[in-house]
Chains A and B, each alone.
Chain A
Amino acid sequence: MGVKKMEMTIDQNDPNVTLSTGTAKVMTDILVYKVPRHTVIELRPEDILSAYLKDAGSECLATDGVQLVIRDPNNLSQEVLFSGQYALIKEFQDKTKVKNLGASRLIKSDYQIALMAKATTVLVVANCYYQLTCARWAEVL
Protein backbone atom coordinates (compact mmCIF):
# COMPACT_ATOMS: atom_id res chain seq x y z
CA MET A 1 0.00 0.00 0.00
CA GLY A 2 1.29 3.46 -0.88
CA VAL A 3 0.45 7.06 -0.29
CA LYS A 4 -0.48 9.34 -3.17
CA LYS A 5 -0.54 13.15 -3.15
CA MET A 6 -3.22 14.81 -5.24
CA GLU A 7 -4.19 18.44 -5.75
CA MET A 8 -7.77 19.02 -4.73
CA THR A 9 -10.40 21.70 -4.28
CA ILE A 10 -12.97 21.41 -1.54
CA ASP A 11 -16.23 22.88 -2.79
CA GLN A 12 -19.97 22.68 -2.13
CA ASN A 13 -20.27 19.48 -4.19
CA ASP A 14 -17.71 17.44 -2.26
CA PRO A 15 -19.31 14.32 -0.72
CA ASN A 16 -17.51 14.96 2.58
CA VAL A 17 -18.97 18.44 2.90
CA THR A 18 -21.99 19.36 5.01
CA LEU A 19 -23.60 22.68 4.14
CA SER A 20 -25.85 24.77 6.32
CA THR A 21 -27.67 28.07 6.12
CA GLY A 22 -26.13 29.54 9.25
CA THR A 23 -27.93 31.80 11.70
CA ALA A 24 -28.36 35.51 11.13
CA LYS A 25 -25.95 37.71 13.12
CA VAL A 26 -24.29 34.72 14.82
CA MET A 27 -20.94 33.17 13.82
CA THR A 28 -22.05 29.68 12.74
CA ASP A 29 -20.88 26.90 10.44
CA ILE A 30 -21.89 27.19 6.81
CA LEU A 31 -19.54 24.55 5.37
CA VAL A 32 -17.95 21.65 7.23
CA TYR A 33 -15.51 19.29 5.51
CA LYS A 34 -14.76 16.10 7.43
CA VAL A 35 -11.44 14.55 6.42
CA PRO A 36 -12.11 10.96 5.24
CA ARG A 37 -10.35 7.94 6.77
CA HIS A 38 -6.87 7.05 5.49
CA THR A 39 -6.45 10.61 4.27
CA VAL A 40 -4.44 13.64 5.33
CA ILE A 41 -5.29 17.11 4.02
CA GLU A 42 -2.38 19.48 3.58
CA LEU A 43 -3.09 23.20 3.64
CA ARG A 44 -0.28 25.34 2.26
CA PRO A 45 0.38 29.10 2.41
CA GLU A 46 -0.44 29.51 -1.29
CA ASP A 47 -3.80 27.73 -1.08
CA ILE A 48 -6.88 29.78 -1.90
CA LEU A 49 -10.04 30.31 0.11
CA SER A 50 -13.04 31.76 -1.72
CA ALA A 51 -16.75 31.94 -1.05
CA TYR A 52 -19.81 33.46 -2.61
CA LEU A 53 -22.51 33.90 0.02
CA LYS A 54 -26.06 34.85 -0.82
CA ASP A 55 -29.39 34.82 0.97
CA ALA A 56 -32.77 34.51 -0.76
CA GLY A 57 -32.38 37.81 -2.57
CA SER A 58 -28.97 39.41 -2.30
CA GLU A 59 -25.30 38.78 -1.66
CA CYS A 60 -23.91 38.86 1.85
CA LEU A 61 -22.57 42.25 3.01
CA ALA A 62 -18.88 42.88 2.32
CA THR A 63 -18.35 43.60 6.02
CA ASP A 64 -19.96 40.38 7.30
CA GLY A 65 -17.52 38.26 9.30
CA VAL A 66 -16.11 34.92 8.15
CA GLN A 67 -13.72 32.42 9.74
CA LEU A 68 -11.90 29.31 8.60
CA VAL A 69 -11.25 26.89 11.46
CA ILE A 70 -9.90 23.40 12.06
CA ARG A 71 -11.57 21.24 14.72
CA ASP A 72 -10.74 17.98 16.40
CA PRO A 73 -13.17 15.09 15.74
CA ASN A 74 -15.01 15.67 19.03
CA ASN A 75 -15.43 19.42 18.59
CA LEU A 76 -13.53 20.01 21.82
CA SER A 77 -10.96 22.38 20.39
CA GLN A 78 -10.50 24.51 17.33
CA GLU A 79 -7.84 26.59 15.68
CA VAL A 80 -8.70 29.67 13.63
CA LEU A 81 -6.74 29.78 10.37
CA PHE A 82 -8.40 32.87 8.96
CA SER A 83 -10.71 35.48 10.40
CA GLY A 84 -11.87 38.55 8.52
CA GLN A 85 -14.52 40.17 6.40
CA TYR A 86 -16.43 38.48 3.61
CA ALA A 87 -14.97 41.01 1.13
CA LEU A 88 -11.55 39.36 1.58
CA ILE A 89 -12.66 35.94 0.32
CA LYS A 90 -15.22 36.74 -2.38
CA GLU A 91 -12.73 36.63 -5.27
CA PHE A 92 -12.47 33.27 -7.08
CA GLN A 93 -10.32 33.92 -10.14
CA ASP A 94 -8.16 37.04 -10.06
CA LYS A 95 -4.81 35.89 -8.68
CA THR A 96 -4.04 39.40 -7.43
CA LYS A 97 -7.21 39.53 -5.33
CA VAL A 98 -7.80 35.96 -4.08
CA LYS A 99 -7.27 35.18 -0.41
CA ASN A 100 -4.22 32.99 0.17
CA LEU A 101 -4.25 31.07 3.42
CA GLY A 102 -0.71 31.99 4.42
CA ALA A 103 -0.52 29.00 6.78
CA SER A 104 0.64 25.39 6.62
CA ARG A 105 -1.25 22.60 8.36
CA LEU A 106 -1.60 18.84 8.08
CA ILE A 107 -5.10 17.71 9.02
CA LYS A 108 -5.79 14.13 10.05
CA SER A 109 -8.78 11.96 9.23
CA ASP A 110 -12.02 12.71 11.11
CA TYR A 111 -10.84 16.26 11.82
CA GLN A 112 -12.99 19.04 10.41
CA ILE A 113 -12.25 22.07 8.29
CA ALA A 114 -15.11 24.51 8.78
CA LEU A 115 -16.01 27.81 7.20
CA MET A 116 -18.10 29.96 9.52
CA ALA A 117 -19.99 33.15 8.77
CA LYS A 118 -21.77 35.84 10.71
CA ALA A 119 -24.13 37.08 8.03
CA THR A 120 -26.75 39.74 8.50
CA THR A 121 -29.42 37.43 7.08
CA VAL A 122 -29.90 33.67 6.80
CA LEU A 123 -28.05 32.29 3.77
CA VAL A 124 -29.56 29.98 1.18
CA VAL A 125 -27.41 26.87 0.63
CA ALA A 126 -28.34 26.56 -3.03
CA ASN A 127 -27.17 30.14 -3.69
CA CYS A 128 -23.73 29.78 -2.09
CA TYR A 129 -20.54 28.30 -3.48
CA TYR A 130 -17.04 27.78 -2.19
CA GLN A 131 -13.47 26.80 -3.02
CA LEU A 132 -10.62 25.81 -0.74
CA THR A 133 -7.60 24.48 -2.59
CA CYS A 134 -5.37 21.95 -0.80
CA ALA A 135 -3.36 18.77 -1.29
CA ARG A 136 -4.85 15.40 -0.41
CA TRP A 137 -2.56 12.60 0.74
CA ALA A 138 -4.46 9.34 0.49
CA GLU A 139 -3.61 5.69 0.93
CA VAL A 140 -3.88 3.81 -2.37
CA LEU A 141 -3.46 0.18 -3.42
Chain B
Amino acid sequence: MDIWKLLNVAAAIGVLWLVMDKMKEKKASTPSTATPAKTPTTTEAQVAAMLAAE
Protein backbone atom coordinates (compact mmCIF):
# COMPACT_ATOMS: atom_id res chain seq x y z
CA MET B 1 0.00 0.00 0.00
CA ASP B 2 1.10 3.51 -0.75
CA ILE B 3 2.62 5.13 2.36
CA TRP B 4 0.55 8.32 1.83
CA LYS B 5 -2.73 6.40 1.78
CA LEU B 6 -1.71 4.71 5.04
CA LEU B 7 -0.89 8.06 6.64
CA ASN B 8 -4.26 9.51 5.51
CA VAL B 9 -6.14 6.61 7.09
CA ALA B 10 -4.16 7.01 10.31
CA ALA B 11 -4.87 10.77 10.37
CA ALA B 12 -8.60 10.16 9.78
CA ILE B 13 -8.70 7.67 12.66
CA GLY B 14 -6.88 10.18 14.88
CA VAL B 15 -9.32 12.99 14.10
CA LEU B 16 -12.30 10.68 14.71
CA TRP B 17 -10.83 9.61 18.06
CA LEU B 18 -10.30 13.25 19.09
CA VAL B 19 -13.90 14.21 18.17
CA MET B 20 -15.34 11.28 20.11
CA ASP B 21 -13.16 12.09 23.13
CA LYS B 22 -14.37 15.71 23.13
CA MET B 23 -18.02 14.56 22.96
CA LYS B 24 -17.48 12.19 25.88
CA GLU B 25 -15.93 15.01 27.93
CA LYS B 26 -18.83 17.36 27.20
CA LYS B 27 -21.37 14.74 28.22
CA ALA B 28 -19.60 14.09 31.52
CA SER B 29 -19.44 17.77 32.44
CA THR B 30 -23.15 18.47 31.82
CA PRO B 31 -24.62 19.19 35.25
CA SER B 32 -27.46 16.99 36.41
CA THR B 33 -30.77 18.79 36.74
CA ALA B 34 -32.13 16.28 39.27
CA THR B 35 -32.29 17.56 42.90
CA PRO B 36 -30.35 15.27 45.18
CA ALA B 37 -32.51 13.65 47.84
CA LYS B 38 -31.99 15.07 51.37
CA THR B 39 -30.23 12.48 53.44
CA PRO B 40 -30.87 12.72 57.17
CA THR B 41 -27.91 13.71 59.34
CA THR B 42 -26.51 11.19 61.81
CA THR B 43 -28.22 13.02 64.68
CA GLU B 44 -31.57 13.07 62.87
CA ALA B 45 -31.32 9.36 62.16
CA GLN B 46 -30.34 8.59 65.76
CA VAL B 47 -33.19 10.71 67.15
CA ALA B 48 -35.70 9.05 64.82
CA ALA B 49 -34.50 5.62 65.96
CA MET B 50 -34.70 6.62 69.64
CA LEU B 51 -38.24 7.98 69.27
CA ALA B 52 -39.36 4.98 67.26
CA ALA B 53 -38.12 2.68 70.02
CA GLU B 54 -40.36 4.33 72.64
Is the CB of B54 closer than 8 A to any CB of chain A?
Answer: yes
B54, A42: Cβ atoms closer than 8 Å: no
A107 CB to closest chain B CB (Å) equals 9
A38 CA / B53 CA spacing, docked (Å): 10
In the bound complex, residues from chain B placing their C-beta under 8 Å from that of A106 are 43, 46-47, 50
Question: B43's contact among A38, A42, A109, by CB below 8 Å, is which?
Answer: A42
Categorize the interface residue count of chain B.
under 10
Residues 25-42 of chain A: 1 if any B CB is under 8 Å from the residue's CB, otherwise 0?
000000000000110101
A38, B47: Cβ atoms closer than 8 Å: no
In the bound complex, residues from chain A placing their C-beta under 8 Å from that of B48 are 3
List CB contacts (< 8 Å) of B26-54 with chain A.
43-44, 46-48, 50-51, 54
A3, B46: Cβ atoms closer than 8 Å: no
Q: A38-B54, A106-B47, A137-B47 are in contact. List 14 more A-B contacts (CB 8 A).
A: A3-B44, A3-B47, A3-B48, A3-B51, A40-B47, A40-B50, A40-B51, A42-B43, A42-B47, A106-B43, A106-B50, A108-B50, A109-B54, A139-B51
Binding site for A on B (CB under 8 A): 43-44, 46-48, 50-51, 54
Binding site for B on A (CB under 8 A): 3, 37-38, 40, 42, 106, 108-109, 137, 139
